[in-house]
Amino acid sequence: MKQQKKLVLHFDLNKTIILADSKYINQTKEECLQEILVGYAWGKLEQRDEKSPVLWKLLTNNFTPIRPSEDMISYKEYICQQFPLKTEGDPDDITEYNNSAIEQRKQLYFQFVKLGQPCMKLKPEYDRIVKLITLPKAVIEELKQQAEEFGFLNEEEVKQRNLTQLLSDKDMLNNLFSDNKYQLLPTFYKTIINLKKQKREFAIVFRPFGTDPKNILREFNKFCLGEHPCFSGRNNTPIVKFDGSKGTKNYIVLDKQCALVYRQQKQLVTGTLRRTDKQQLEDGYEKELEEEQVQIYNETQMLLKITESLKESCALCYVDDFNFYQAYPNEQNAKQLYVDQQDADTLHIFFDDGIQENENNLVQVTDCVTLENLSRKRCLNKYLVHVDILDVIKDPDYFIKQIEICERNRNEEIERIEKGIPEEQTEIPKKSDWELLEECSDADYLRKTILPLLMPALQLVDIERPKDPLEFIAMYCLKNKEMVKIPQPPEQQE
């Protein structure tokens, strides 16, 4: 049996494994969810007559990130059209105007499924999604009791403590779950548990883009200790440990497993999560250097240090330089992923909502031997995975499925390399429509097969308002069943 690869799984944070957006620190997790879903509700602009205003009308009965047809726009796009941002004029006036426009947009985002609002028909599905990000009732009650006993850690207290000190706090993460919603989404944890059950060798690398990840690591470390309220063995929850006890590997992330990337200085600082504004990093970390808490590596040492760290630790946190990327937004200044294309035993996979097929990527893949930048086409679904947060919320096996796809594609590439076939001459058989459909998530499968039939039926129901909508939809689907096009498996094709 062929030995399984070691997996090195790199995870972005915002809108990849957590909902909260660090840009809006006062925004609740449900408000973050609303801002996402408002872009997944599709409709068209309609006007009854010349004197009537142009209004947006919902034409879909479910949330989907995929535009159903070219002539549809999302409710979020419509809101942005109603409250556009200025780019020209006095800087102070622009700031004041744009802040007001953004606030008006948010007010509409946060009430889009309420009674009387354009998307109120999506309220049942919205409620189901909210339930998926809500903690179990027994856990909520336990956290409430813990809060009464130990109180809350405020953000300033968290900032003043290092990860080792936070490891022993007794507040049971109350401040992270004060809104009774998950911070790190359950699918992330279930992925780790699943890989452990499969006896896979794997490492986790948290890759935030300028976000202070201390609260994320604090929660993850509690999970590793078996003290996470949802994985503690209490209240009918499973007990899980990744702390090195009883023969398990230790995935706890302390300060020594953390590093900060400085793009302008082309240096890596390890042993801290505190970023300095000093141009000379030695000045910004003078005290920590004296106490040997941090180390600074130059560009030629960075790659070696990253490689060594992955051999020494099961989990790391590398904070990329968002400020530099924001000033110079191109792929060369984005997050770096180093891979060894000749290493058939290790597979790096980067999960990020900012990975796109045809746009400026937030991740640049580089061969660590040749230092060649690899094209995104070669890397997608092999080293890079575009994440849609809705799939992460709804499908507990989402990351496992994506890992399987990446491994399959990487194995095909290794086979080509072993046979000495140059890439431009590769004659790997093109995947059939059936195989492509097999690789889809459950949500994508339904979008590609059932939605083309169901959506026109739902639109007709909305227009004609039949007495029995279910019978109407059933008859429509029966008459138009040829619209469902499910390809046959290759062995059944003539």
| pLDDT tens per residue across all 494 residues of the chain | 467 899 999 999 999 999 875 555 678 899 999 999 999 999 999 988 888 888 999 999 899 999 999 999 999 999 999 999 998 888 889 999 999 999 999 999 999 999 999 999 999 999 999 999 999 999 999 998 888 887 777 777 777 788 887 887 766 577 788 889 999 999 999 999 999 999 999 999 999 987 779 989 999 999 999 999 999 999 899 988 999 988 789 999 999 999 999 999 999 999 999 999 999 999 999 999 999 999 999 977 888 888 889 888 999 999 999 888 888 888 778 899 999 998 999 999 999 998 876 666 789 999 988 989 998 888 999 999 999 999 999 999 999 999 999 999 999 988 888 887 776 544 445 566 666 667 676 767 777 777 777 877 887 777 778 888 888 888 888 877 777 767 766 655 44
| 205 falls within a domain | no
The CATH number of residue 479's host domain is 1.20.890
Listed residue (457, 445, 453) closest to 487, CA to CA: 445
> Would the CA dihedral through 441, 446, 449, 452 be positive or negative?
negative
- What total number of domains does the chain contain? 2
Listed residue (18, 17, 23, 15) closest to 39, CA to CA: 15
| 153 falls within a domain | no
> Which pTM does this prediction carry?
0.83
- As a residue count, the chain comes to 494
| 44 falls within a domain | yes
Q: Rounded distance, CA 273 to CA 295, Å?
A: 12
Range of the domain at 66: 29-119
Domain end: 64, 85, 119, which one? 119
Q: Rounded distance, CA 10 to CA 385, Å?
A: 10
| 190 falls within a domain | no
Q: Are 7 and 191 in contact (CB under 8 A)?
A: no
Domain end: 86, 119, 152, which one? 119
